Amino acid sequence: TTNRPYTTTHPYPPWTTAPTTRGVSMCLRYISDRRSFSVFTLSPSSYSLNLHCNGDGSFTLTFNGYNNIYLQPNIRLWSNMIPIQNMWTSICVTVDTVKKVAQMFRNSDMSPRKLLPFRYTWSGEPVVDFSGFEGQVTDVQVWDYPLRYKEVLYYMSAGFYGPYQGSMLNWSYISFSIRRETLLEETYEQQMKLPAGSRKPRRRLRRDKIPRKVFNSRKSKGIRRQLS
């Protein structure tokens, strides 16, 4: 584990608390050869969310370390979505603190909405920890509200159907701290650019150009991210 002091980009006076929101949503893309692993831990001041990928393809969302929800994203939501970046697994997790439900999306599929086991509130600045994740991760976005289906579609299609940008954490403008052995490199799209003078293939899909970075993380790495 990584000892992480709580930091914020918009500090509140010590005699006040951060305002609560309607919920929280987090999306990211990853590559991993593990069947069972911890994906991330998302923390504001004290109310943490941990997402764990189980060996059977389901996910466990843990609140505050002891309340669990099991999410199985196996219901096809978009049957005709254009596959983009199929080397990546794209996921989104939404928590609606008003309706008291949580839901998960993976590529073109979604899970049923599940009732929260208790009244959950979200406040404070997001800090994302990838300690324990082994693989590659990119395009991390965090919103301070539950995403609508069309907003999830924008993310899953990498901006083909519409633009997307996290309201609390945006991958294009992000600060991070690296712990232990972590490799920071360009995405595969940048690495596969043709040499000068080569004929470029025709682009059939319109995609918003967003700078992305890839973190290759080995076992027991922690990466802290927060909005800069």
pLDDT above 90 for 143:
yes
Asked if residue 198 is part of any domain, the answer here is no
Residues 6 or more apart from 221 whose CB is under 8 A from it? 130, 131, 132, 133, 134, 179, 180, 181, 182
Asked if residue 117 is part of any domain, the answer here is yes
From residue 162, alpha-carbon distances to 150, 154, 155, 201, 208 in Å are 9, 5, 8, 23, 9
Report which residue type is found at 102: A
Asked if residue 159 is part of any domain, the answer here is yes
Confidence band for 53, pLDDT divided at 50, 70 and 90: very high
Asked if residue 7 is part of any domain, the answer here is no
pLDDT above 80 for 192:
no
Q: Which residue has the tokens 């992480």?
A: 4
pLDDT above 60 for 48:
yes
Asked if residue 1 is part of any domain, the answer here is no
Question: Using the 8-state DSSP alphabet, how is residue 191 labeled?
Answer: H
Domain interval for residue 163: 23-193+206-227
Asked if residue 177 is part of any domain, the answer here is yes
Question: Using the 8-state DSSP alphabet, how is residue 142 labeled?
Answer: E
Asked if residue 52 is part of any domain, the answer here is yes
For strand 59-63 and strand 49-53, is the pairing parallel, antiparallel, or unpaired? Answer: antiparallel
Query: What gap in Å lies between CA 81 and CA 144, rounded to an integer?
Result: 26
pLDDT above 60 for 33:
yes
Rg for the chain, CA atoms, rounded: 18
Mean pLDDT of 140-156: 95
**pTM for the whole structure:** 0.74
Domain of 94, CATH number, reads 2.60.120.200
Asked if residue 17 is part of any domain, the answer here is no
Backbone φ and ψ of 199, nearest 5°? -80, 125
**What is the count of structural domains for the chain?**
1
